[in-house]
Structure 1
């Protein structure tokens, strides 16, 4: 944000309206003239650093939200949508797009939401995808659920007072308070299940194939379903899902969120992150958690007054299909985009299982991201069974990554790998890895020449 002018009139206007203030009242609070505030709201003046500080102090929000909250994800994200062939005949240039975003941010955001739900040839089944609905609701909260997190932290403190062994403390609480015992069953008894609640036998049955971190998580998940039922119910009802499957998926996410927050209580986890430089391996050991659990927890640290760094997370399989995407407070297009670039080492992680791959990347708009990627293997695998493996990518804006353990010895202002958001969205013309031309660009065929890229295409 320090390297570019920030035009965020739509976000300032939204803050003012949410507070029920007139322009005159808000300008008085910020010690600026009403005419200047009017120009800011109309995107005819950028936000100065001093005004940004005053806004943050007066309205208690994260200034990074202004950059992340641009209508439709901002200029670059809107250009990706408008590159769809259905708009090719409209010839919308950059200036026209900028005027639209500045003059009608609400209309631009409405277009973006409609396109994301129904655009690019999506049919009714895709439009009502419960996983997509749940992800939108999670991102609406920026990945952080305050009441649930506070309840989990309080419970974790109670359990910690009773015993040093978290798993044992959870098992004892389930037994004494809820008359549920934990039983570890052989894989032959539960060949296709990792966890099962048998209410008739009053047992939480866990597979012997689960490692210690996963057993603790499963036990905390069950405890959350019981003791955080009120918070989970309120959040699920407030989401207003029309699809029952989406609501149940969301409830499961919230119970998982609670379990992770019990294992990694907010204040203690944030202090450990700051003290260790977000050393992922050390955090795993300190909190008895798995790599993916720690990585996901890092995307949720958005408590007012005690915010962590804005990480994003992506999990893919070898075919590049994403099964998890959380942008959190980062607003990163690397989490939002449907496509991914093969030059991103997220894909290379499969070549060295269990080894953390660190990479500095740069997108077409000049945004630089410090990323980490490592493979994870799902629990429950038996010898001879179908092997499963995923790559989990974690990233943060490069200008915020200087204090990370993985950044030691790296020049975050130095050379970065130029990547895109998938070939169909990428406009880089000389990429030898390109598999398809970008959408909305005319192919140029010249039988007398062959460039580095197999595809040559026209400009804007």
Structure 2
């Protein structure tokens, strides 16, 4: 797979100036010419992997911060925004975007801000309060959902807890009791009827509902421990997000606390090693780390440690109506994550029929990319409106180029000839004569022939 070029001139310049170094001094430290460094800072040359590592060693920082500092969040973040139906009639390839970022990085950043503000206003063009979820998603996207400092701290703490007890939940409960004077108490559903957890500081108790399964209890205990012991790291990341919206900052902090909890349950190197040994077999990973399916799915999107990366998974979660409630692109750059609609030919919509089954499917998008996907239904906790138990479908996937490493793909031909052609939802899809079509493509004019009736009632100009 081709690695995307990283243009991080603005970030390099800030690093150099914060260290009070001239271009000549930094160039000498990196063993390059001052003229070459000048080109890098002007985004006329990409940053090589060697220079990234040298900079990380010299300035003692996480190289992923360079990606977060790219104009507009980087080329892949801009490509994801261009999947919006507004741009369906445009054919903007990667090379064109690279030229744009090099020539006009500030205009790329301006485009992203205008686009995000438009989305926050509900596409109405009117002034509106910013959408906190959209703001948080953008910040997570800038980090590729990988927070190295939280991972490192959680990994160190997990090793420390393992020395004291083989049971992680028991070890966390003991640490909360001894170090923070907090007890865990499991309460009946009738007492916590509308809550899953409650922190009662007066009683010094973390109260958990009996409705939580063991994996969820461990997660909630780990989340509280992270809020206490990783507060400094979480504060720094939240501050770096520069949120002006209070709700967005709180949502981002919640995401970071959950990230720490998952990292404590599934420590990075041990989890990655288990993934590679088992072919990312999710059922085995669940048992080995005492985690739920959705928790493992989340964790798979975060394995982007420099020098020790896992496969670039994406994840989405939808309900029976197809409404999306979670989406993480990770490092996958998958259009399936950003699209406003989903294709009914994608197996994610069929998993409600057999909730315990993991369905695998090779799909091909109109842009020629192929993706190996895994889908499974999961149940929520408690009862929703009308007393129904909530149900969701989790969709995971990687590029077919790396899909052969998965246990679920063994023995399968992952070439595009064996893929199911799908689209990014009917309004964005231009595949002709699809019998499942429920709406015409927005980018094509309709045609009518009263003497004929095709597989779909919507005939349109097909380029």
Tell me how far 1:350 sits from its aligned partner.
Answer: 1.1
Distance 1:129 1:397, change over 3 A: same
Query: Could you list the per-position Cα deviations for residues 320-340 of structure 1 after superposition, in whole angstroms to 9, with x for gaps in the alignment?
Result: 111100001111111122211
Tell me how far 1:280 sits from its aligned partner.
Answer: 0.3
Answering whether residue 56 of structure 2 is matched by residue 56 of structure 1, we say no
Q: What does 1:8-407 correspond to in 2, within 5 Å?
A: 11=7, 55-60=48-53, 69-70=74-75, 73-74=78-79, 78=82, 80-83=84-87, 94=91, 102-103=99-100, 106=105, 107-108=107-108, 110-118=110-118, 121-122=123-124, 128-381=130-383, 385-407=387-409
Instruction: Give the whole-Å Cα distance in 2 for the aligned partners of 1:178 and 1:320.
Output: 43
Instruction: Give the whole-Å Cα distance in 1 for the aligned partners of 2:329 and 2:424.
Output: 14
The DSSP-based 3-state class of the residue aligned with 1:393 is: strand
Instruction: Give the whole-Å Cα distance in 2 for the aligned partners of 1:19 and 1:366.
Output: 39
Instruction: Give the whole-Å Cα distance in 2 for the aligned partners of 1:69 and 1:17.
Output: 17
Contact preservation (8 Å) 1:72, 1:109:
no
The DSSP-based 3-state class of the residue aligned with 1:346 is: helix
Unaligned 5+ runs, structure 2: 17-22, 54-62
Contact preservation (8 Å) 2:382, 2:389:
no
Match of 1:49 in 2: none
Distance 1:433 1:77, change over 3 A: farther
Instruction: Give the whole-Å Cα distance in 1 for the aligned partners of 2:365 and 2:204.
Output: 53
Instruction: Give the whole-Å Cα distance in 1 for the aligned partners of 2:347 and 2:250.
Output: 34
The DSSP-based 3-state class of the residue aligned with 1:182 is: strand
Match of 2:442 in 1: 439
Contact preservation (8 Å) 1:71, 1:108:
no
Instruction: Give the whole-Å Cα distance in 2 for the aligned partners of 1:265 and 1:248.
Output: 25
TM-score (norm 2): 0.83
Contact preservation (8 Å) 1:369, 1:397:
yes
The DSSP-based 3-state class of the residue aligned with 2:446 is: coil
TM-score (norm 1): 0.84
Contact preservation (8 Å) 1:432, 1:452:
yes
Note the aligned Cα RMSD (angstroms).
Answer: 3.2
Tell me how far 1:209 sits from its aligned partner.
Answer: 1.0
Match of 1:426 among 410, 429, 444: 429
The DSSP-based 3-state class of the residue aligned with 2:351 is: helix
Distance 1:175 1:11, change over 3 A: same
Contact preservation (8 Å) 2:184, 2:206:
yes
Distance 1:285 1:18, change over 3 A: same
Instruction: Give the whole-Å Cα distance in 2 for the aligned partners of 1:81 and 1:58.
Output: 38
Unaligned 5+ runs, structure 1: 44-51, 85-91
Instruction: Give the whole-Å Cα distance in 2 for the aligned partners of 1:238 and 1:185.
Output: 38
Instruction: Give the whole-Å Cα distance in 2 for the aligned partners of 1:352 and 1:123.
Output: 42
Instruction: Give the whole-Å Cα distance in 1 for the aligned partners of 2:193 and 2:86.
Output: 48
Distance 1:237 1:359, change over 3 A: same
Query: Could you list the per-position Cα deviations for residues 135-189 of structure 1 after superposition, in whole angstroms to 9, with x for gaps in the alignment?
Result: 1111111001111111111111111000001000111111111111111111111
Tell me how far 1:353 sits from its aligned partner.
Answer: 0.7
Answering whether residue 444 of structure 2 is matched by residue 448 of structure 1, we say no
Instruction: Give the whole-Å Cα distance in 1 for the aligned partners of 2:244 and 2:92.
Output: 39
Tell me how far 1:57 sits from its aligned partner.
Answer: 3.0
Aligned residues: 428
Tell me how far 1:113 sits from its aligned partner.
Answer: 4.1
Contact preservation (8 Å) 1:314, 1:322:
yes
